[in-house]
Amino acid sequence: MRSAAVVANLSILLTFILAAILNSYDEHLYYLSVQEDGYVEWATFWGFVVAAWIFAVTALHQLKVRRQLPWFMICLTMFCFFVAMEEISWGQRLLDYRAPEYFLEQNYQQEFNLHNIAATRIRKLVLQAILLGYGVILSATAQWAPAARLLKRCRIVVSPPSLIVGFLAMYVVYVWYPWSHTGEWVELAMAYGFAYVALFSRSPVAARSEAAGTVKALQVLAIIWALAASTVIAVRYGHAADPDNVNAARFEIDALAKDFNSGHVRTRCNIHKRLFTFAREYRQPYLFEGEYSQLLQDKGAGDRAEYLLDPWNSAYWIRHKCTRGRESRFIYSFGPDRRRDSTAWELGGDDIGAHLRE
C-alpha cells in the first residue's frame, strides 16, 4: 500500500501548498475560498462524512464476522460524523433556523455548534492533541511489538505509520499558523487524514494489490471533491431570494447605518466582526436601542434585535478596513444565499449592506 500512502500524504501536503499559493498570489480568491459554504468547508464536511461512512461499514463488517464489538471504530465513526456536522453548524444555514438562545449568547459565531463555545486556546490544544497524539505518537508507538499487541487486543484502530508524515505536517502547519484562516486548511487536511485512516483500516482493502489500493485512495479523494463541488453549486443556487426578506434586510441595514452615523457608535481600524460580538466586546450599547432596534420592535421582531440578526437568522457584520491612504467601513448581511460574497473592501454578490461615513 505504499503508493496509496503516497497519494494520501501528497493530498495533505498539496492542500497546504495550494493555500500558500492562493495567499501569495490571489488574496481575494484565498479569502473567498475559506468562507462559509465554500469549497474548503464543504470538502471538509464531506471528507469527514466519507470517513464516518467507511468506519461504520467496516465496524458492521467486523461485528458480523468476528462477533466482537469494535468499540474504538464506532467511536471514530461518531467522532467523524460529529466533526462533519459541527463544520456546517448542524445545517443551520441550509435550513434557515435560528440557533437556540444559549448558542446565540455564548457562541461567538452565533451558530449552533459546540466547538466555538470553548475558548480558542482549548480548541487549539484539543486539535493539536488529536493530530500529534493520535496521528503521530500513537501510530509510532504501535510499531513497538508489545504495544501493537496490546492495542490490537483492546481493538484500538491506529493510524497507519505511512500517514505519520501527513499528520505531522498538519500539526506543524497548525502550530505555525502561517496564513489567516490556516485552521480551515488544517481541518480539510484532517478530513483527508481520517478518510484515509478509515480506508486503510479496512481488511479487504489492505489485502488488495498495490494498484487497487492506489485507485481506492484516488477514488476517495475524487468522491470528496465531487460531493463538495455539487453541494457548493446546489447551495449557491438553491436559496430562493424571498423579496420580503430582502426588503426587510435593506430597511434594517438603513436603520443600522443611521445608528453608526449618529455618532453614538464608534468603530476602529481593522475590525471584522459580527455586530453582536462587536457591540459586546467594544461596549456599544446603542446598537441595542437605536433605530435598528426600534424598527424591529415595531415589527414584533425584538428577539432578532436582541442578537442583531438579519431576516435569515444570520448575523449582521461590521467591516472597518484601513491601510495607508485607504479606508473602508461598511455593515452587511450575507443575504439570501447565507454566504459571504463581499471582499475586504467592497460589498459583493447578493450581500446586502451599506457603506458608512468615514
Is the same domain home to 194 and 285?
no
| Of 213, 238, 263, the domain-final residue | 238
Give the chain's largest Cα–Cα span.
71
Is the same domain home to 53 and 81?
yes
Res 337: pLDDT: 83
pLDDT tens column, 82-92? 999 999 988 88
Q: In sequence order, what DSSP letters do the residues of 50-87 get, joined into one string?
A: HHHHHHHHHHHHHHHHH-S--HHHHHHHHHHHHHHHHH
Is the same domain home to 234 and 310?
no
In the predicted model, is pLDDT for residue 57 greater than 80?
yes
**What is the domain extent for residue 63?**
2-238
Q: How many domains does the chain have?
A: 2
Q: Considering the chain, what percentage of its residues have pLDDT values greater than 90?
A: 65
Lowest mean pLDDT among 189-203, 209-223, 252-266, 327-341: 209-223
Res 205: pLDDT: 45
The residue assigned the cell 450599547 is 285
Is the same domain home to 216 and 88?
yes
pLDDT tens column, 116-163? 777 778 989 999 999 999 999 999 999 999 999 999 999 999 999 999
Is the same domain home to 252 and 349?
yes
Alpha helices in the chain (DSSP H): 2-25, 27-33, 39-66, 71-87, 92-95, 101-106, 120-129, 139-141, 145-153, 164-176, 182-200, 203-206, 210-238, 243-261, 275-281, 291-298, 302-307
* Averaged pLDDT score across all residues of the chain: 90
Is the same domain home to 224 and 277?
no
Q: Pick the residue with more confidence: 317 or 100?
A: 317
For residue 182, what is its C-alpha cell? 490556516
Confidence band, pLDDT 50/70/90 cuts, at residue 207: very low
In the predicted model, is pLDDT for residue 75 greater than 50?
yes
Is the same domain home to 168 and 266?
no
Is the same domain home to 292 and 155?
no
In the predicted model, is pLDDT for residue 277 greater than 80?
yes
Is the same domain home to 305 and 218?
no
Q: In sequence order, what DSSP letters do the residues of 212-267 get, joined into one string?
A: HHHHHHHHHHHHHHHHHHHHHHHHHHHS---HHHHHHHHHHHHHHHHHHHTTS---
Distance of CA 269 to the CA centre of its chain: 26
Is the same domain home to 97 and 196?
yes
Res 181: pLDDT: 92
Is the same domain home to 64 and 183?
yes
pLDDT tens column, 230-253? 998 888 776 667 889 999 999 999
| Of 238, 258, 280, the domain-final residue | 238
| Of 215, 238, 261, the domain-final residue | 238
Confidence band, pLDDT 50/70/90 cuts, at residue 18: very high
Is the same domain home to 227 and 254?
no
